[in-house]
Amino acid sequence: MPDGDDLIISGGGSVAVGTDELFAAAGKVRSAETQLVDCAGELTAIDRLVKPGRLSSGSIPATALAAERAMDDATIFLDRAHSKARLLSFAIDRSADAYGLAERAATRVSDDIAASIAYSLGFFLPVITLAAMPALFGIARIGGMAAAGLLALPEAKRAQLFAALSVWLQENSSVLSDPNFVTFVRHTVTSLDDLGAGVVHLPPALSGFLGDGGIGLLGVSTSSAAIIGAGTLVGYLGETKVTTTRVSSTNAVTFPSGWEDRATRVQHETGPDVAQVRIDRYEVAGEPDRFEVYVSGTKDFALGKDTQPWDMTSNMNGIAGWDFGSNESVRQAMEQAGVTGETPVLFTGHSQGGLVAAQLAASGDFDTRGLYTIGAPSAQVAVPNDIPWLALEHTNDIVPALSGYYGIADPVLVRRDLYEGVPTGSDKFFPSHQLGAYESTAAMVDQVDEPRIDAIDRRFADFTTGATPVQSTTYHGLRILDQSATDSAAR
Q: What tens digit of pLDDT does each residue of 45-54 get?
A: 776 666 555 5
443 in a structural domain: yes
101 and 151 in a single domain? The answer is no
Same domain, residue pair 58 and 161 = no
Q: Domain containing 70: what range?
A: 23-110
Instruction: Report whether pLDDT(3) > 60.
Output: no
In one letter, which amino acid is 387?
I
Question: Are 174 and 228 contained in the same domain?
Answer: yes
Q: Is 67 exposed, middle or buried (0-12, 13-18, 19+ CB in 10 A)?
A: middle
* pLDDT of 368 over the 70 cut: yes
Count of beta carbons in the 10 Å neighbourhood of residue 52: 8
Q: Is the domain of 332 the same as that of 439?
A: yes
Specify if 18 maps to a domain: no
Q: Give the residues across from 204 on adjacent strands.
A: none
Q: How confident is the model at residue 219 (pLDDT cuts 50, 70, 90)?
A: low
120: left (phi over 0), alpha (psi -120 to 50) or beta: alpha
Q: What is the pLDDT of residue 489?
A: 42
pLDDT tens digits for 14-62? 877 777 667 667 667 677 777 767 777 777 777 666 655 555 555 556 6
CA Rg, the chain, in Å? 29
Sign of CA dihedral 105, 111, 115, 121: positive
Query: In sequence order, what are the residues at sequence separation of 6 or more whose Cβ sits closer than 8 angstroms to the Cβ of residue 338?
Result: 281, 289, 291
- 349 and 457 in a common domain: yes
What's the pLDDT tens digit per position in 135-172?
Answer: 656 766 776 777 677 667 787 776 777 667 666 666 66
1: confidence class by pLDDT, cuts 50, 70, 90: very low
pLDDT of residue 41: 77
389 and 476 together in one domain: yes
Whether residues 204 and 156 fall in one domain = yes
In angstroms, rounded to a whole number, what is the distance separating the alpha carbons of residues 59 and 67? 15
What's this model's pTM, rounded to 2 decimal places?
A: 0.80
> At 229, phi and psi to the nearest 5?
-60, -40
49 to each of 42, 53, 70, 181, 468, how far by Cα in Å?
Answer: 11, 12, 15, 68, 53
In three-state secondary structure terms, 269 is coil
- The pLDDT assigned to 413 comes to 95
**Is 4 a member of any domain?**
no
- Which residues have C-beta within 8 Å of that of residue 221, sequence separation ≥ 6? 319, 320, 321, 380
Identify which of 407, 409, 422 has the alpha carbon closest to the alpha carbon of residue 107.
407
Q: Do 183 and 250 fall within a single domain?
A: no
Domain boundary among 201, 232, 263: 232
Give residue 464's identity as a one-letter amino acid code: T
Identify whether 12 is part of a domain.
no
> Are residues 104 and 79 located together in one domain of the fold?
yes
Q: Largest alpha-carbon pair distance within the chain?
A: 115
pLDDT in tens, 314-356: 999 998 888 899 999 999 999 999 999 999 999 999 999 999 9
- Lateral strand order in the sheet of 467-480: 14-19, 8-11, 412-416, 389-394, 367-374, 344-350, 290-295, 277-284, 467-480, 241-250
User: How many domains does the structure of the chain reveal?
Assistant: 3
Q: Quote the CA–CA distance of 355 and 318 in Å, as a whole number.
A: 7
Which of 390, 329, 339, 383 has the alpha carbon at shortest distance from 361?
383
Q: Is residue 13 part of a domain?
A: no
Of 110, 126, 155, the position where a domain reaches its end is: 110
pLDDT band at 119 (very low <50, low <70, confident <90, very high): confident
Looking at the fold, whether 153 and 297 belong to one and the same domain comes out as: no
Other CB atoms within 10 A of residue 291 CB: 24
pLDDT tens profile 249-308: 999 889 999 999 999 999 888 777 789 999 999 999 989 999 999 999 999 888 878 899
1: in domain: no
Kindly state whether residue 11 falls inside one of the protein's structural domains.
Answer: no
Shared-domain flag, residues 50 and 190: no
Burial class (CB in 10 A: 0-12, 13-18, 19+), 265: middle
Instruction: From 433, 429, 384, 392, select the one nearest 410 (Cα to Cα).
Output: 384
List C-alpha distances in Å: 162 to 34, 143, 152, 156, 254: 65, 16, 14, 10, 46
Residue 416 lies in a domain: yes
Q: Are 239 and 317 in contact (CB under 8 A)?
A: yes
211 and 273 part of one domain: no
User: Which of 188, 216, 232 delimits the end of a domain?
Assistant: 232
Average pLDDT for 443-463: 94
